[in-house]
Amino acid sequence: MQDFLHYLTLPYLWQGAVIAVELLVGALAGGILIGFFLALASTSRHLWLRLPVQAYIYALRGTPVLLQLILLYNVLPQFGLRFSPFASAMLALMINETAFCAEIIRGGIVATDRNQRMAAQAFGFSRLSEMVHVVIPQALRAILPTLGNEAVGLLKSTSLASVVGVNELTMRGQIIVSQNFLFIPVLVASGGIYMIMSSALAGGQWWLESRFGLDHRARRAQRRRDRSARAEAASPDLLPPARAFSSTAAVVLDIDGLHVDYGRKPVLKGLSLKVRRGEVVALLGRSGSGKSTLLKSILALTPVTRGTILVEGHPMGQTAAGRPLPERRLPANRARSGVGIVFQHFALFDHMTALQNCMTIPRIVQRASAAVARGKARRALATVGLSAFEASLPHELSGGQQQRVGIARALAGEPQVLLFDEPTSALDPELVREVNQTIRDLAHTGITMLISTHDIAFAATVADRIVFLQDGLLVEEGPPAILEHPRTEPFSAFLRHELGRPEPSAPASTETAADAHAFDRN
Ligand SMILES: Nc1ncnc2c1ncn2[C@@H]1O[C@H](COP(=O)(O)OP(=O)(O)OP(=O)(O)O)[C@@H](O)[C@H]1O
């Protein structure tokens, strides 16, 4: 025991441990940094970039690090590159790490929520902003446990550096043993030092995991909530004061001859639609009729095959000459459009509080100061009646509240046109009412809205105009009265289907009129 304690505290061994730590830190830092870019390249859409990177990762993961180390140490001098044993070992370990870190980081990026990424793109986040504010914070949560494991594995691999003569911990242990033959106390003491170092790594991993975990964020949010209880309540003065729609108002959204194909499948087939300032249009149609595709096209989230979309004369996803915009110019195009969107599955950024979610568009896209963005976000939250929840994380809110935060987030960007993609279809029936009421309240303020919905009773009470899509075409449109008197058989059949009514024995219009009177106008 005394021998063991003697060697456990021996400065000679601890100096070797410091060398191991230096190798670890250098190799891991380089591995993470280069691995990050390799991970981005390995998920690229460009084959010429993806393939060589994947081949590099495949080769490094498939060969022992010891072999790579010996190869590098002996091959580089033949090209005139002479490194010290320490630098060679660090380089070899780092090159090996780049492959493993790239795969770990790629796994984290792939695991990020697609809806949140789509929301960021829809709002006009640049690729960099999307990475920094949405992808990396989420990916970190997935990456950290595996990266912690990788760091411990790498610490042990530093002992391989002894084969090229680096005088690190394992080698120093062997040197002592070769002199005094006290195998057990020396090697157990070396093992103890490795364990102390890996325990420190595990502690660091635990700290980082809790730092970036949602529980920690929730606790921080709780503290902020306590402070914000004293903050002055914002007044909901973000919206136009009164209902402003008139049938002669200027056209804000002008869609002309829109064709959208997914591969070879045509989804929108020459759809035209004009929406006037202050108008509320409800989009109805069976599942698969193209409602969501239409809304995504308006935000240039889906490539348009033919046709044009103008928002206040601003072409979406196209140059002024009508050519598709290159992808790198789409974020600015979306940011300029003044179109806001509310998604079916909320797509709130789950690591941000309600207030932070609402600040994203003013702060990140419109580049307002933090104070201005906070003011807009607070007023938007007040508009949807959620001021008291500004410090709550999405997972601490009910589905209905989450969707109202989604609405507030869109409002904080002060949109010209607000799109709703089936805003209540992911909600339990008892939560639908509160969200519908919020949208109805907004409809009365004069904001221009295009709402895709399956809720006919809601459409009847919220919309100035009903638009019915079928199979990618606009089949029928008109005031809400057409819900009672559909003119076309497809619309009539759709209404019967949605209202769960039997096939008519009398003419279609008579039957549907009776149904319409029976709407539960919730
Ligand atoms: N990314 C995609 N790739 C291929 N096909 C797609 C894609 N997105 C949608 N589609 C197809 O396009 C058609 C229209 O889909 P869309 O989501 O626009 O319909 P929808 O009317 O919004 O339906 P729902 O009411 O169920 O949301 C469907 O046939 C769907 O399968």
Find, among 483, 469, 460, the residue nearest to 294 by Cα. 469
Query: What's the rounded mean pLDDT across residues 284-306?
Result: 94
C-alpha 25/C-alpha 6 separation (Å) is: 27
Burial class (CB in 10 A: 0-12, 13-18, 19+), 305: middle
Ligand 1 centroid to residue 293 C-alpha, Å: 6
Structure token digits, residue 116: 């949140």
pLDDT digits (tens, 9 = 90+) for 256-282: 999 999 988 999 999 999 999 999 999
How far does residue 292's CA lie from ligand 1's centre (Å)?
Answer: 7
Q: How far apart are CA 361 and CA 393, in angstroms?
A: 17
Written as six digits, the tokens of 474 are 């606009």
- Mutating to test ligand 1, I would choose from 292, 421, 473 the residue with most ligand atoms within 8 A of its C-beta, which is 292
Report which protein residue has its CA nearest ligand 1's atom 25: 287
Asked if the model's pLDDT at residue 521 lies above 90, the reply is no
For the segment 320-338, the average pLDDT, to the nearest whole number, is: 91
Atom 29, ligand 1: residue with shortest CA distance: 288
Supply the residue whose CA is at minimum distance from atom 7 of ligand 1. Answer: 262
Nearest Cα to 287, choosing from 469, 417, 161?
469
Name the DSSP letter for residue 174: H
Residue 294 Cα to ligand 1 middle (Å): 10
Verify whether ligand 1 is closer than 6 Å to residue 472 (CB atom).
no
Among the atoms of ligand 1, which is closest to the Cα of residue 265?
5
CB of 289 closer than 6 A to ligand 1?
yes
Measured from the CA of 296, which atom of ligand 1 is nearest? 18
Distance 284 CA to ligand 1 centre (A): 14
Least confident of 27-36, 207-216, 351-360: 207-216
Residues 6+ apart with CB under 8 A from 174: 162
Please compute the mean of the pLDDT values over residues 50-54 and round it to a whole number: 96
The percent of residues in the chain predicted with pLDDT above 70, rounded, is 91
Distance CA 309, CA 494 (A): 27
The whole-number average pLDDT for the span 151-168 is: 93
CA distance linking residue 237 with residue 404, whole number of Å: 17
**Residue that the structure tokens 């409002």 belong to:** 411
pLDDT tens-place string over residues 86-133: 999 999 999 999 999 999 999 999 999 999 999 999 999 999 999 999
CA distances from 341 to 4, 346, 372, 425 (A): 67, 10, 21, 15
Neighbours of 277 (CB within 10 A): 19
Q: Tally the C-alpha atoms within 13 A of residue 461's C-alpha that lie toward its C-beta.
A: 16
What average pLDDT score do residues 312-328 get? 90
- Residue 508: the pLDDT is 45
Contact criterion met (CB below 8 Å) for 437 and 272: no
Host H or E run for residue 310? strand 306-311
Ligand 1 proximity of 303 Cβ (cutoff 6 Å): no
- Confidence (pLDDT) at 520: 43
| Among 123, 94, 85, 74, CA closest to 32 | 94
Pocket test for ligand 1, best of 118, 269, 286, 287 (most atoms within 8 A of CB): 287
ipTM: 0.95
Report pTM. Answer: 0.83
Backbone conformation region of residue 520, classed left if phi is above 0, alpha if psi is from -120 to 50, else beta: beta
CB 190 within 8 A of CB 4: no
User: How far is the C-alpha of 307 from the C-alpha of 444, rounded, in Å?
Assistant: 32
140 CA distance to ligand 1 centroid (A)? 32
- Quote the CA–CA distance of 438 and 405 in Å, as a whole number: 11
